[in-house]
Amino acid sequence: MCGIAGVMFSNENYAPVGQYLYDMLKSLQHRGMDSAGVITYNYKDINYWKVRVVCPSDPEVALNKIKYRLNIKDSKVVKLNDGNFMLDLKISKEHDVSEVRNTIKKLGLYLLSLGLQSLISKDVGLVDDVNRIFGFSKEVGTHGIGHVRFSTESAVDALHAHPFQNPEFPDIAIVHNGQITNYWKMRELLELEGHEFQTDNDSELIIHYIVNKLRKGNGLEEALKMAVRDLDGPFAFLISMPEGIGMARDRLGLRPLVISETPSVKVAASEEVAIRKVIPEGKIYYMRPGEVRVWKRQ
């Protein structure tokens, strides 16, 4: 059992997306206490790649190796709750995404976040523990999604926390509640098409699956319908991208997903309590088994 939450503001003005996600995830904390994380979207500062890298040891050595290969505009070393270090970097856009990704990979490091318009904050611990490290509740922007994890498989560390990203396609991420029971079969098919996985967490499969469909020319809604058809097991998930937020629920409706929409903000969560935390009044809608929905930014 995990908890997922998403928020999207209807106007172009930046809003307290981080605070909304913080409040919603706090109200879902009972659904998972192993780790927590969010991705938020901000369009004002897109002049560099925002990159967060997990480094098990010797962070200054790793940082110097990256600086030797890439034009770093700003950097910071952070100690994570899981005992690893994180390199928080701003990298010049003169480097394309493949150059950034391949440099990190060749150094034996792992990407926690990579984007121009988005930033992922995630680690082990409670929502407050993760917020103390990243201060994500202060993030302003247009939309975002978040997660609290109760691990049923795979490791418990920052890398295995949600949201999950496909480093080949920055600024797209998912949060997931449930299990993908045909994980290994689907992973093998995606790896044959060139997808590279950073973890053995079944949730990571979903982002690779959706991205695979998107790069073949399918729209997000169509890709979500394909996911409901092809992925087995109980699940509900949210996927975020610069254009908005998509969501899906498994065919049998074994994992809940609740939404509410007002003229100024749309929210989605695993439980009504999270909706009411940020929208005290308003119509509540429980998504049907197998239903998908896409919220597009205006």
Q: Which residues are catalytic?
A: 2
Strands 258-261 and 235-241: unpaired
Got the DSSP string for 152-176? Answer: SSS--STTTSSPEE-TTSTT-EEEE
Instruction: Confirm if 211 and 172 have CB atoms less than 8 A apart.
Output: yes
CA 229 to each of CA 178, 209, 210, 225: distance values in angstroms, whole numbers, following the listed order: 16, 12, 12, 6
Give the separation between CA 243 and CA 223, rounded to whole angstroms: 15
Give residues with Cβ within 8 angstroms of 136, minimum separation 6: 18, 21, 22, 38, 40, 121, 130
